Structure 1
C-alpha cells in the first residue's frame, strides 16, 4: 500500500482530514497529515515570516520522515487540497524521485512563477491582499472566514452543520506570504503521474475540463497527457468533510493508477464546437468587418437582425475563432435564409474576469450592425449561448426600445463560486426583474450539467415572480451544444421553434 501525505488548504489544518485519514488507514495505507506552520492553530496566531517556502519545507520534512520510517523505496502519494497543492508541488519538485503520484483535490495544478493568490476565486480578495502587501509587506495574515463566509472560497454543499461549525472554530488566518510568494518549479516533477479530484457541486466536471482541452487552452493541454487521470465527487469544495469515505476510496483508486483520462483533440472525433450544424442551410454571402460577420438575406429593403453571442471562456488564440464555428454560422445562415440579417462576432471572453470587456465588444458590435443601412436599426434580437448567457444581464436590466427579443440557449444565468467570481453586474437572475415587456426565450436541454441547470431554474423562478415574458423551448434529450452533439429530430424541431419564435418577434 502507498504512504499518503495529506496537505490541507487555506485557513485549515490537519484536522480536516481526520475522517478520510482514518478510512485510508483502515484500508491498510500509511497516512500522514502535514502540519503547515501557522495553520491549524488559534485564530490570533502570528503569521509574520511565514511564506510558501515555509510550507514547502514542512512537506519536505514529512516526506523525509516517511521515507526514514517506511523505507526509501516506499511509494509516496502527495495529496493537496486547495492552496495545499502549492506546497505539494514545490516539495514534489525537490523530491521527485521519491513521489509516486500527486493528487489535486478540487484545485488546479499550480504554475511555475505564479503565486497561490492567482488561484483565489474572489477578485476582491486578490485586490485586498495585493493592497495590503504593498503597505505591510508579506508579514500579515488574511482573516479566517466567519461561518457564513466559507462560500466565498468554495461550495459548502454536503458539509454537515457540526463539521462546518468545527471548520470555522479551528480556522486560522492565512499568512500573506503563502499567497504572495511565487511557486518555483524546476520541471523535475513534470513527469510524475497526477490525479485531479473534481467536486461537481463546486462547478468542476470532467466534461468541462475536456471542453477546455478541446478549445485549445494551453493551460489545459497538459491535462490530456496519459499520466493525468480524473475522478468526480458529487459534493462541494471540502469532500474530506462532506464525503470522507468516498474521498478515501478515490485516493486509493488514484494511487492504483485508476481514473478517467482525457483525450487529446487530435486523437478523437471533432469536438462539439467543430462538428456540423444539425440543419442543412445554404451558403449565403458573408461580409466581415473587424470582429463582426454579417450573413445577408436576398432583400433590398432594410431587414431586422439577429446577433448571435458565443459562450466561453474561449482561450485567446483559439482557432478557429467562435464566429467560424459551424453552429454559430448555421444559426446566422438560417436567420438570413428566413429574411433577417444573421450576425456573428468574436468577443474577448478569455477568462472569468473578462466579462466587462466582452460586454463592451458585444455592445460595439450591436451598434455597428444597427448603423448598417441594410439593417432595420429598430428591429434587433440578441441570442446568447452557454457562458455568454451572463452577458445578457445588461440588456435585461435596461432593454432599449429597438431590442425586440432576447434568446438564450443552454445558458449560464448566474455565476458559480467554483468558476471564479464574476462581477455582480453579470447576473441575469436578478436583472430579469427589470426586463419589463421584453420577450425572452430560453432553450433548455434535459441533459444539462447540474451546475448550469440550476442557474436556468433560478432564472425562471425569478422571471415568474416578476411576470416577465418568458418562453421555454425544451430539448428533453439534448445536451449542452445539442445542435452539433445531438442531430436528432427533437433537436431540429427545437432549433426551428426557437428561430421562428425570434423572427416572429422581429416581425411585429
Structure 2
C-alpha cells in the first residue's frame, strides 16, 4: 500500500489537506499528516525555540511510525515551506522513502534557509529583520505575497485566512542541512502553472544551460502540471489527488538533458531562410547594416531571460535574434542585437540599464537615423518594455514584443516593481505597439498578455496583435510552419511600416 505523508506549507497545517486526503483514501491509499510543531501539531513549550530542525524531527517521527506500523511505500509530499522539513527528514530516512513530491515548491539546497524561497524580495527583508518569535499569518488580501491565489474561491480564501497560524521565525531562518543521502530518492515536481512556469518552460531553461536546473533532467525526476495557483489542495483537491496517485506510480513527464548531437530549441535554425549578412560588434552590441550609406532606421532586439551568465553562445548570437536582425537589415533598417545582464529575476535593473545604454550608442552612430528607432522585446525581456511605455520618447516609433511576459509572474515576487508593462501601458500615448502572440503560450504568460490587452484597450493604446496559429513560446526555432512564417513577415512589415512611415 502507498502511504502518503502530507506536509503543509507556511502558516498552514493538516486541515488544508482534508479534501485531497479524502480522495486519496477513496483510491485505496493510506494518508498520514505531519502536524508540525506550532502549525497544527503540538504547541511550543514555554521558552522553546521552534526552528526547522524541530519540524524535520516532526516529519521523521511520522516516517518512523509508518515504518513501524505498516511498512507501506512512503511518498512524502511537501507543499511550499513544507518541502524543507520533508527533505531534511528524507535525508535521514532515505531508505524508507519511495518518492518525494515537491508540490509547487522549490529545490532547497544544503545550507540555505527556507526564507530564500520566499518570492517577494521585500518580504524576505522584512522577515530577516525580525529578531525572534513568530511571523504573523497574512491578512486576507496579503496571501498573494506568498503565492498566487488563482483558483481559490472566496470561501476557500476565507478559510485559509481564518485557520492560518503564526510561523515560527526559526523555521524560515535556520539553514537546511543535508548529507546528500536524499539525492538517491526519486522525485516528482507538481507545477502549479497559475503561480509559475510549466514543464515546457523548464525544459527551455534546462536547454539554455542553467546549472541550477541541470539535475532536473535526471531520469528519476518527473513532472506534472496543474492549471491553478499556489494552493491546489484547496482549489482543485480532486485533481491534486489524482496527480499524487500517478506520481506515486512513477508517472509524469521527464525533461531531456542537453544532447550534443542535436541543438537545443533556442539554437535551432530560424524559420525564415534569411541571407547571411556581415555584422559589426562593439562591446555587448552587434549591428547588421543594410545596403547604402544611410542614415537608416534601426530595430533593437532585446532578448528574454533570465539567461545564465555562463550560457554560450550568448543571446545576441541566438538564431532568433540574428535571424530577425538580418531580415530587417535586408529591408533597409539596421538590425541590432545585444547581450544584457538579466541573469536572475533580481537583475531587471541591470538589464534595463544595459538596454538603455545600447540604444543611446546605436542612436549616436552616424549610419542610424536617431529619430527612427524601434524596440522589439522577447519573452522574459518583456518587463523591460515598461520603461519605454512610460512616456515614450519621440524617436521611439514602435515597440514590438514576441510572446512577452507583460507583468511579473506570481512566483517572481516582483508585484511592486516598475517593470510592469500592464501598468505602464496607460502612459504609452500614441506609441504604436505590435504584439506577437503564440497560440500555445503557457497559461501563466498568456494571462499577462490578456491583462495587457485589456488595459491597453481601456486607455485606447495603439496595439496591433499578430497571432501565431499553433505556435509555441519561441516559435521561431520550434515551429517552422507556414502560419508562423506568415506571422513573422506580418510583424516585421508592421514594425518597418511604422519606422519608415
The one-character-per-residue Cα deviations of 1:289-317 (angstroms, maximum 9, x if unpaired) are: 11111111122132111100011111221
Is the contact made by 1:38 and 1:47 (CA closer than 8 Å) also made in structure 2? no
Name which of 120, 145, 160 aligns with 1:167. 160
Tell me what 1:120 maps to. Answer: 118
CA spacing shift, 1:423–1:274, aligned 2, 3 Å: farther
Structure 1 pair 405–48 and aligned structure 2 pair: CA distance change class (3 A) = farther
Equivalents in 1 of 2:44, 2:424: separation in Å?
41
Aligned equivalent of 1:8: 8
User: Does the aligned pair in 2 maintain the 1:194–1:229 contact within 8 Å?
Assistant: yes
Number of corresponding residues: 501
What's the secondary structure of 2:184's corresponding residue?
Answer: coil
In the other structure, the counterpart of 1:256 is: 249
1:28 shift after superposition: 2.2
Give the structure 2 partner of residue 131 of structure 1: 129
Contact 2:322 2:337 in 1 (8 A): yes
Is the 1:352–1:422 Cα contact (8 Å) retained in structure 2? no
Larger mean Cα displacement after TM superposition, 422-431 or 180-189: 422-431
Q: CA RMSD in A?
A: 1.9
Shift of the alpha carbon at 1:269?
4.3
Q: Which of 143, 148, 153 is the equivalent residue of 1:150?
A: 143
- Cα distance between partner residues in 1 of 2:280 and 2:135: 53
Aligned residue for 1:425? Answer: 418
Q: Judging changes above 3 Å, is the alpha-carbon distance between structure 1 residues 51 and 507 closer, same or farther for their aligned structure 2 residues? A: same
Query: Which of the residues 463, 478, 485 maps onto 2:471?
Result: 478
Structure-1 separation of matches of 2:346 and 2:415: 6
Distance change in 2, residues 1:285/1:267 (3 Å): closer
Verify the 8 A CA contact 1:410 1:480 in the aligned structure 2: yes
The alpha-carbon deviation at position 421 of structure 1 amounts to 2.4
Matched, 1:219 2:219: no
Q: Offset at 1:481?
A: 1.4
- What is the aligned partner in structure 2 of residue 453 from structure 1? 446
Distance 2:196 2:339 in 1: 25
Please report how far the alpha carbon of residue 445 of structure 1 lies from its aligned counterpart in structure 2 after TM superposition.
1.8
CA distance in 1, matches of 2:361, 2:29: 64
What is the aligned partner in structure 1 of residue 92 from structure 2? 94
Hey, what does 2:105 align to over in structure 1? 107
Quick one: distance in 2 between partners of 1:79 and 1:2? 12
Distance 1:36 1:503, change over 3 A: same
Per-residue CA deviation, residues 404-423 of structure 1 (Å, 9 max, x unaligned), is 11111111111121244255
The answer to which of 46-55 and 61-70 deviates more is 46-55
Please give the alpha-carbon distance, in whole angstroms, between the structure 2 residues aligned to 1:248 and 1:437. Answer: 50
Separation of aligned partners in 2, 1:247 and 1:456:
27
Q: Residue 377 of structure 1: which of 370, 378, 382 is its match?
A: 370
CA deviation digits over 1:309-349, x for unaligned, max 9? 01111122111111110010000001111111110011111
Equivalent-residue separation in structure 2 for 1:314 and 1:67 (angstroms): 44
8 Å CA contact 1:296, 1:340 repeated in 2: yes
Deviation at 1:432, TM superposition (A): 1.0
Contact preservation (8 Å) 1:47, 1:141? no
Ranges in structure 1 where 5+ consecutive residues have no aligned partner: none
Instruction: Return the offset for 1:476.
Output: 2.5
Q: CA deviation at 1:121?
A: 0.5
How far did residue 45 of structure 1 move?
10
Match of 1:381, SS state, is: strand
Equivalent positions of 1:394-413 (< 5 A) are 394-413=387-406
CA contact 2:227–2:443 (8 Å) conserved in 1: no
TM normalised by structure 1 equals 0.95
Equivalent residue in structure 2 for 1:312, among 305, 309, 327: 305
Q: Aligned with 1:376: secondary structure?
A: strand
2:228 maps to which of 222, 235, 239: 235
| TM-score computed with the length of structure 2 as normaliser | 0.96
**Offset from partner CA, 1:165-197 (integer Å, 9 cap, x none):** 221111011111111111111111101100011
Q: Deviations over 1:117-158 (max 9, x none)?
A: 1110011111111222xxx2xx22221011122122112222
Does structure 1 residue 245 correspond to structure 2 residue 238?
A: yes
